[in-house]
Amino acid sequence: MLTFQEKREFLLAALIRSERLGTSEKMVAIALAFRVDSDGSSNITTREIMALASLSRQGVQNCIHGLEDKIDLIVNRTPAKNTYQFRQWSGL
């Protein structure tokens, strides 16, 4: 079983090496992985993603939709704050 740090490093490496993701999608995915919790979820705000990925709000939203399709990212949308879950995390 991998440690939290090993899981996060593996996830980051897989995202960076992915040929399915565009550059902006990779930046958003890396921002999410940067703030991932021990259960594979990320509670990062859209504003934080915008700052880390150097994208507009619309750019971040477009990338999130792309990540939902391409890497099966789970997005729990609430009026207050979205939560993002890497489905692959539990298999690491």
Looking at residue 1, what is its pLDDT?
84
Q: What is the pLDDT of residue 63?
A: 98
Identify which of 24, 7, 19, 18 has the alpha carbon closest to the alpha carbon of residue 91.
Answer: 7
Alpha helices per DSSP H over 1-92: 4-17, 23-34, 46-53, 57-70
CA dist 92 and 78 (Å) reads: 28
Fold classification of 4-91 is Arc Repressor Mutant, subunit A (1.10.10)
Predicted TM-score (pTM) of this structure: 0.93
- In the predicted model, residues of the chain with pLDDT beneath 50 are none
pLDDT digits (tens, 9 = 90+) for 56-65: 999 999 999 9
Name the residue among 46, 35, 38 with its Cα closest to residue 12. 35
